[in-house]
Amino acid sequence: MLNPYLHLVLNGLLITTAEILMKKGASASAAIPVPAWLSFLGVTALGSWWTWAGIGFHLAGFANWLYVLRWIPLSIAFPLASMVHVLIPLGSWFFLGETITTIRWCGIALIITGIWFIAKPLVQAEEAI
């Protein structure tokens, strides 16, 4: 199979895709008239194929995450998985037209810096092998 670190990147893409699809499903179902208690639960979003596609991507991400955890220690995999905190705002901006504020850009830069500090020693260790 592929390198577990490539699977970690794939996991970030799967989860990002899932979240964007579920947002589209939730937005598409917002105009459906239903009782207030049903609207509050958000179950109307289950009537959208966008939501079901998002659930499918979440399941694929879950299976992929289990593969990642077989090969990468959790203390490394989980911090590297924070890349979704970068990918989701960027995907929301690109695909949904959402805005990214200056403070959010600063947060994205901090997350990228943190990922860099975690990943750099791993790359150097692999190059030494």
pLDDT digits (tens, 9 = 90+) for 45-59: 888 899 999 999 999
Q: Which of 83, 76, 79, 67 is nearest to 4 (CA)?
A: 67
% of residues, the chain, pLDDT over 90:
62
**Burial label, 116 (beta-carbon count in 10 A; 0-12, 13-18, 19+):** exposed
In 3D space, the residue among 56, 53, 58 whose CA is nearest the CA of residue 11 turns out to be 58
Q: What is the pLDDT of residue 48?
A: 86
Cα distances (Å, whole numbers) of residue 72 to 82, 89, 104: 15, 26, 29
